[in-house]
Structure 1
Amino acid sequence: MYWDHWSLNRVLILFVGLAFLLIGIQVTLYHYRQNFHNKAMWMPVIASPIFFAAGVILVWYNAAWLHALFIALMWVGAVAGLIGLYFHVRGVGIRVGGFALRNFMTGPPVILPMVFTAIAVLGLIAAYWKGM
């Protein structure tokens, strides 16, 4: 399969790949700051560059197997973000004072795992788009 033009789903897949590069850098900085005290912290750090590479390669080389791999990776990313949300909410709750506003402000960023999931879901929308 070859790309004849830059369709919307092709642009979105490129955006998703680049977004995973950027969010991967941010996640790495946050988790490094916490010394990777939980092994689950490695998942988005390792997965983000893989998601980036898969998205960018798919934009330039639209092979069926690569398309299927991209879809599988985006499903993994969506689930990983939800798991991260659980860990981040739990991390806020175990701080002194529980779910107080100050703990949401200084504790693990609760929004970041949801952004990870949202980007993966956008990748799924682009991959399942009819124009592909």
Structure 2
Amino acid sequence: MNWNGWTLERIVILFVSLAYLMMWVQVGLFHYRQNFHHKAMWSPILVSPLLFCSGIVLTFYNAAWTTNLFIAMLIVGAIVGLVGFYLHWRGVGVRVGGYALRNFLIGPPVVLPLMFTAVSGLGLLAVFW
């Protein structure tokens, strides 16, 4: 593959797409471990592969509709991450002892949903810059 002709935007979109594929695996393992006890746990599992596919399509086929699809999916991804942050934060708080440090260490990972949102922000930055 000749990377010399690729713009930075295209490379970042490819990176964002692959990041969502990797996050899909990690989030899937974490939520599977918790038996998907809350229905919202399915949202990143369903959204991540769609973000990956739409980003890959945009990387190799740059058309207006692929760009708009990717932008819409990134917005959905950012919202899913923010909702996940709220649910994870609340999940730490309902544990015995509340917001004690040990509950942040053993409870739901509070930062992981923010990474979901941050990667969406990076994708939006690449598209609109």
Q: TM-score range by the shorter chain?
A: over 0.9
Aligned-pair CA distance for 1:63 = 1.1
Within 2, Cα distance between the matches of 1:76 and 1:39? 17
User: Which residue pairs with 1:91 in the alignment?
Assistant: 91
Shift in Å at residue 39 of structure 1?
0.5
Shift of residue 65 of structure 1? Answer: 0.3
After the TM superposition, list the runs of 4 or more consecutive aligned residues in structure 1 that deviate by more than 4 angstroms. Answer: none
Instruction: Give the equivalent residue in structure 1 for 2:68.
Output: 68
Aligned mates of 2:80, 2:121 — CA distance in 1: 12
Residue 80 (structure 2) aligns with? 80
Q: Which residue of 2 aligns with 1:9?
A: 9
Residues 1-132 of structure 1: matches in 2 within 5 Å?
5-129=5-129
Provide the secondary structure at the position in 1 that maps to 2:72.
Answer: helix
After TM superposition, give the deviation of residue 105 of structure 1 in Å. Answer: 0.2
Considering Cα pairs closer than 8 Å and 6+ residues apart, tell me whether 1 or 2 has the greater RCO.
1
**Post-superposition shift, 1:57?**
1.1
Query: Percent sequence identity over matched residues?
Result: 59
Q: How far 1:52 sits from its partner (Å)?
A: 0.5
Gaps spanning 5+ residues in structure 2: where? none
Aligned residues: 126
User: Match of 1:102, as an amino acid?
Assistant: R
Residue 87 of structure 1 deviates from its aligned partner by 0.1
Matches of 2:83 and 2:11, distance apart in 1: 28
Residues 25-45 of structure 1, C-alpha deviations (whole Å, 9 max, x = no match):
000000000000110000000
SS of corresponding position for 2:5: coil
Question: Unpaired runs of 5+ in structure 1?
Answer: none
Return the offset for 1:5.
Answer: 2.7
TM-score, normalised on structure 1? 0.93
CA offset digits 1:39-62 (Å, max 9, x no partner): 000000011011011111110000
Query: What secondary structure is seen at the aligned counterpart in 2 of 1:96?
Result: coil
What RMSD over aligned residues (CA atoms) do the two structures have, in Å? 1.0
